[in-house]
Amino acid sequence: MTKLKGLLLTEGMHGMISQVEGLAKALDLDFIHEKIELNRLWKLFPPKVTPIQDFVFKNDIKGQFDIVISCGRKSVIPSIYLKKKLKNKILNIHIQEPKVSLKNFDFIVAPEHDALMGTNVLTSKGAIHYLTNIEIDKSESYLIGKTDSKKNIVSLIVGGPTKHYNYESKIIDEIFKKIENNFINNNYQLIVVPSMRTPQRIIDKAKNFFSNKQIIIPNVDKKAYLSALKISDHIVVTCDSTSMISEAAITGKPIYVAQMPAVKNDIRFKSFFNLFESLNIIKPLNDSVEKWNYTKLDETNKIAGQIREKIKQHDFS
């Protein structure tokens, strides 16, 4: 059977790509990515007051596709434009709240902590993503040879400054000290894994703070990320990324969240943390180390299963 073709629309950020690509893979689509760029004037306007016209975005979108999966503010108008142009020839799915009428999409995929309601809304616990346990298992050997077999492993997955969290040096020092006291001083080896948003100054700070017996990944390295998730006994993730916390939750391993003071109202983050704490997935990084279990999250495949039923009933002609 010929695969359906997918078009993925994002702003090019890791968290967005992870979500659209994860859903496309779970739906078994033959997909391509399109990084959306808005024309200068329209970058300033929210989607709800932006015209549904192709002059809004720079991309010249061509080719045949059946499913459009979009994520992020910039991708809202192109998705709606394509739906209006092609009508039932495509299904369009938007991930995250689009800030426009939900009726513009066949499906909206949103995390429970967003409290978005609608007949076409599918909710997930945390963010959906592109990681699978099969892929994680295959990456085990990438870092295992660099670790000390006599030590337990803790991985610190680092995000970066956002409008909610600014990564003050003092706060990062406090997080590093907690990891040193809680883990390294108790026979753990540390793996620090940066993301696309991690400033070089944070990577340099980690190199200077921790001894050379710890493993500091110097740049974005997907294999190192997956390998670290596989071989870790505990995982610590900075609080700025619900996506990376959601990704880590596929492992079933204890996850500590390294909290920082918010510089802007972070009520959505608090709702997310409350949900994941109630599911026994995360605990705040404080002054002790525990071991606990929870049911591995596989929300991407759950959502994909619900969408497949709609695809079976849809006439793309």
Given 3.40.50, 3.30.519, 3.30.530, 1.10.287, which CATH number is that of 5-125+299-313? 3.40.50
- Give 155's strand partners: 191, 235
- Residue 315 pLDDT level (bands cut at 50, 70, 90): confident
**CATH superfamily of the domain spanning 133-284:** Glycogen Phosphorylase B; (3.40.50.2000)
Question: What is the DSSP secondary structure assignment for residue 317, as one 8-state letter?
Answer: -
Mode of pairing for the β-strands spanning 188-194 and 255-258: unpaired
The predicted model gives 151-178 an average pLDDT of 96
For the record, the structure tokens of 5 come out as 């073709």
Check if the beta carbon of residue 241 is closer than 8 Å to that of residue 195: yes
Residue 134 to residue 300: CA distance in whole angstroms: 14
Number of neighbouring beta carbons within 10 Å of residue 175: 20
Domains 5-125+299-313 and 133-284 share a fold: yes
The ranges assigned to domains in the chain are 5-125+299-313, 133-284
Read off the amino acid at residue 79. Answer: S
pTM of the model: 0.90
Kindly report, residue by residue over 82-121, the tens digit of the pLDDT: 999 999 999 999 999 999 999 999 999 999 988 899 999 9
Residue 94 to residue 105: CA distance in whole angstroms: 7
- Residue 1 pLDDT level (bands cut at 50, 70, 90): low
Contacts of 187 (CB under 8 A, 6+ apart): 150, 151, 152
Kindly report, residue by residue over 16-27, the tens digit of the pLDDT: 999 999 999 999
The predicted model gives 55-61 an average pLDDT of 96
Residue 11 to residue 79: CA distance in whole angstroms: 13
Residue 10 to residue 103: CA distance in whole angstroms: 20
Residue 245 to residue 129: CA distance in whole angstroms: 11
Check if the beta carbon of residue 103 is closer than 8 Å to that of residue 119: no
